[in-house]
């Protein structure tokens, strides 16, 4: 299971500034960026895509990852 520290090392959250409730989440390992929209009690997360339908990528950092099997990862 990922710890809170593992998640903080791997993902970076950029707040939307003027757009309250809109954040960009960047996976530092893959470089894929996601749009996170939150409003009241609801939320949505989707990858950002470019004009060709490919994921928007940022520069990636080298982050030490530990090997995790599917049985070790909990969605909660």
pTM score, whole prediction: 0.69
pLDDT at 3 over 60: yes
Strand 22-27: give its sheet, edge to edge: 11-15, 22-27, 33-39, 42-47
Tell me what pLDDT residue 9 has. Answer: 92
Question: What would the mean pLDDT of 21-30 be, rounded to a whole number?
Answer: 92
- CA 71 to chain centroid, in Å, comes to 21
Q: 58, exposed or middle or buried, with CB in 10 Å at 0-12, 13-18, 19+?
A: middle
pLDDT in tens, 28-76: 999 999 999 998 889 999 999 999 999 999 876 555 555 555 455 544 4
For the chain, the structural domain boundaries read 4-54
């Amino acid at each position: 299971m990922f710890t809170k520290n593992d998640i903080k090392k791997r993902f970076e959250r950029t707040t939307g500034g003027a757009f309250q409730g809109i954040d960009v989440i960047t996976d530092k390992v893959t470089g894929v960026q996601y749009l996170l929209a939150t409003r009241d009690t609801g939320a949505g997360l989707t990858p950002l895509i470019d004009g060709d339908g490919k994921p928007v990528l940022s520069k990636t950092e080298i982050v030490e990852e530990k090997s995790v099997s599917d049985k070790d990862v909990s969605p909660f």
